[in-house]
Amino acid sequence: MADAPGAGSIYDLGYRHYDGVRLGRRHAIWTLYVHSLRNVFGVGRSFWAKAAAFGILAITLIPAVVQLGIATIAPQDIDIVAPEDYYGIIEPLLAVFCAIVAPELAGRDQRTHTLPLYFSRALLRDDYAFAKFFALVTGMLTLTVVPQLLMFTGNAAATDNAFDYFRDNWQDIPAVLASAILLSGLVSAVGLAIASQTPRRAYSTVGILAAFLLVSAIAGSVFEAAERDTGRVIVLLSPFHLARGTTLWVFGADLDPGSQFARADLPGAAYGLAMVSFTLVMLVLLLRRYRGLAA
Amino acid sequence: MTAADVAIIRTTGLTKRYPRVTALDSLDLQLEPGVIGLVGANGAGKSTLIKILLGLLPPTAGSAEVLGFDIATQGPELRQFVGYMPEHDCLPTDVSATEFVAHMAQISGLPRGAARERTAETLRHVGLFEERYREMRGYSTGMKQRVKLAQALVHDPRLMLLDEPTNGLDPGGREEMLRLIRRIHAEFGMAIILSSHLLTEIERVCDHLVEIEGGRLVRSSPMTALTAPTRVLQIEVDGDRDRFAERLAARGIAVTRSGRNLLVEKEDDAMLDIIRDVVVELDLGLVKLEQSRRRLEELFQPEPDAKDPVRG
């Protein structure tokens, strides 16, 4: 504190009180949501944070672009990439995106001990957790919905009559939105529940990748090895299996007879129900973590 | 602003128990606006009290009102009007002071435009100039303390809770911080609760003192009552001190020694005349003749004989 206080007093116009509005809790939550959403895409952060986010977003678009290319060349109704299969293709990308972003959202304020400054302001601990959650959900939605919409509009444009295409396929739109919201909610809840447990970024990144990709791989092999009933349970414990099962159900798609989903022979609603329950359990873990953190 | 006679803090039976320790034990406290010093040994419950008042910790029992808001049910409303400067490091490294403080102002409920405007003013008030646009990772301890103070001040709170604000500062920085705190109260009109383990700081800055020990309230009283003038006169003379003492004793004044000083219990003003006369008789130089004030530190030294009259 060595810089001259004399220099400061030249500009010193005296203290002015603030008489304007105070917008309270909702404004605080909204501010934190917007701030976190910017963090999701690396806005206001380093070049690499932006590069990673937008790079992954670009890669998720590749299957859609390929499909569009084929649709333009061969206008017959060739679905290389069907909407209900899209998430299955970009699953690893969703996991990687979450593993990069969630530790940033949930770990940074713990790492720098900034949480007491938030919790001593106009919001509650739960508000803080929800603001982070919805920011990540919004981010994940861009990864899940944007490629689907691109593909839908592109397919429509490639046909002779876009109106006919829309009339025949409009049901895909609510299905896309519903499955994207469920998937984004699940991935965000799992990612933040894990990332909030530790300020250490490396641990949570590995933990999140394991929760999605490793669990998915393990569940797949255990399913092959196990009795049918054990296999069914296993499928319901793997986030990505739940997401795929739910998506197939939402789209009302026919199950490929050889697939694990056909062999598990569960009602489609079971996946949806299990997926929502799984998400809620993760959200509870997230809220509990922030309620329990010493500040 | 609330009327001056309204208590800024009122606690009733406020208790915080952990499985193994009781951090606050049925604390009843009523404080009026001012600069309030919170003292006590480490682990006495100072930080626990501050955190409960902010809603960072839930109390085990009892209740508290801050600025007339109930801490249990009106936390978010209340905290729009409260600023908190924690003891420990709490700043992100990869954003600038300007960005960070403006963000925090919005989390306190200020609209975006107002938050930016007040951030610029507040950083200037705490003495952060060009460096406020730089990432905070390179900041010195002094600069970080200023940012911590700024984020607690930016939303123009009515009450500021400062936990060991001079921690880690060098003597110059300490001085500057205390000057700022005093100014925030005197010119900005904010009530301040300040915890410190340095009594000299409390003595300089505060006008009310709250002492907590083992989670219990030991005392809560105005500083003037604690550092009131005593009846002891301190005398320092140039020349033969022994003869001076003898001559005073001969005229019925009991003298004790304390270093270079002679201490005399003042009974009436006539005594001052006697002392003057003796000085003249012996042709000594009178260097000092003053009525001593009690120092805060004396209060915290165990006195086996004298019962502290303030201690209730």
- Classify strands B255-258 and B82-85 as parallel, antiparallel or unpaired: unpaired
- Which residues of chain B are within 8 Å of residue A120 when distances are taken between CB atoms? 54-56, 79, 82, 84
User: Could A112 and B89 be called an inter-chain contact, meaning their C-beta atoms sit closer than 8 Å?
Assistant: yes
Measured CA to CA, the distance from residue A69 to residue A151 in angstroms comes to 10
Residues of A in contact with B149 (CB under 8 A): none
What residues are paired with B232 via a beta bridge? Answer: B265
Average pLDDT value for residue range B60-64? 96
d(CA A133, CA B149): 30
At A175 the three-state DSSP class reads helix
In SS3 terms, chain B reads as CCCCCCCCEEEEEEEEECCCCEEEEEEEEEECCCEEEEECCCCCCHHHHHHHHHCCCCCCEEEEEECCEECCCCHHHHHCCEEEECCCCCCCCCCEHHHHHHHHHHHCCCCHHHHHHHHHHHHHHCCCCHHHHCEHHHCCHHHHHHHHHHHHHCCCCCEEEEECCCCCCCHHHHHHHHHHHHHHHHCCCCEEEEECCCHHHHHHHCCEEEEEECCEEEEEEEHHHHCCEEEEEEEEEECCHHHHHHHHHHCCCCEEEECCEEEEECCCCHHHHHHHHHHHHCCCEEEEEEEEECCHHHHCCCCCCCCCCCCC
CATH 3.30.70.270 domain span(s) along chain B: 229-293
Is B114–A122 a contact, with Cβ atoms under 8 angstroms apart?
no
Residues in chain B: 312
Residues 146-175 of B with CB under 8 A from A: 146, 151, 155-156, 169-170, 172-173
CA angle, residues A204, A206, A211, in degrees to nearest 5:
90
Homologous superfamily (CATH) of B229-293 is Reverse transcriptase/Diguanylate cyclase domain (3.30.70.270)
Among A184, A117, A96, A121, residue whose Cα is nearest residue A147: A184
CA distance to partner chain B, nearest, from residue A290 (Å)? 11
Do B127 and A3 touch, CB atoms closer than 8 A? yes
Q: Are A215 and A122 in contact (CB under 8 A)?
A: no
CA angle B48, B53, B58 (to 5 degrees): 70
Q: Which of B159, B163, B160, B189 is nearest to B47 (CA)?
A: B163
The dihedrals phi and psi of A14, each to the nearest 5 degrees, come to 85, 165
Chunked in runs of 10, what are the mean pLDDT values of chain A (295 residues)? 45 81 97 97 88 94 87 71 90 95 96 96 97 98 94 84 87 94 97 97 96 93 84 88 94 86 90 96 98 87
Q: Determine, for residues A8 and B55 on separate chains, whether the beta-carbon distance falls below 8 Å.
A: no
What pLDDT, on the 0 to 100 scale, is given for residue B84?
98
Which of B48, B66, B74, B79 would you mutate first to test chain A, the one with the most A CBs within 10 A?
B79
pLDDT for A78: 65
Is the predicted pLDDT of residue B229 greater than 80, yes or no? no
> What pLDDT shows up at residue B223?
87
- For residue range B232-280, what is the model confidence (pLDDT) as tens digits? 888 998 888 888 888 888 888 888 888 888 888 888 888 888 899 999 9
Does 3.20.20.120 match the CATH number of domain B9-226? no
End-to-end CA distance of chain A: 28
A77-114 b/e with 16+ CB inside 10 Å = b? eeeebebbbbbeebbebbbbbbbbbbbbbbbbbbebbb
Q: Judge residue B212's burial from the number of C-beta atoms within 10 Å of its C-beta, 0-12 exposed, 13-18 middle, 19 or more buried.
A: buried
Start-end ranges of CATH 3.40.50.300 in chain B?
9-226
- Residue A2 has a pLDDT of 42
Burial of B172 (0-12, 13-18, 19+ CB in 10 A): exposed
Show the tokens assigned to A114: 């900034």
Question: Considering only residues 70 to 129 of chain B, which have any Cβ-Cβ distance to chain A shorter than 8 Å?
Answer: 75-77, 79-80, 82, 84, 86, 88-95, 99, 103-104, 106-111, 114, 118, 121, 124-125, 127, 129
Question: Mutating which of B77, B88, B103, B110 best tests the A interface, going by the most A Cβ atoms within 10 A?
Answer: B110
CB B255 within 8 A of CB B278: no
The pLDDT value given to residue A1: 42
CA of B189 to nearest chain A CA: how many angstroms apart? Answer: 9
* CB B53, CB B65: distance < 8 Å: no
| pLDDT above 80 for B1 | no
Tell me what the pLDDT averaged over chain B comes to. Answer: 89
Provide mean pLDDT across the span B94-104.
96
A179 C-beta neighbours (distance < 10 Å), count: 27
Cα B81-B84-B87 angle, rounded to 5 deg: 175
Position B308 scores a pLDDT of: 44
Question: Which of A1, A32, A119 is the closest to B172 by Cβ?
Answer: A1
Predicted local distance difference test score (pLDDT) of residue A76 = 64
Q: Contact at 8 Å (CB) between B226 and B299?
A: yes
CA triplet A228, A216, A229: central angle to 5 degrees? 10
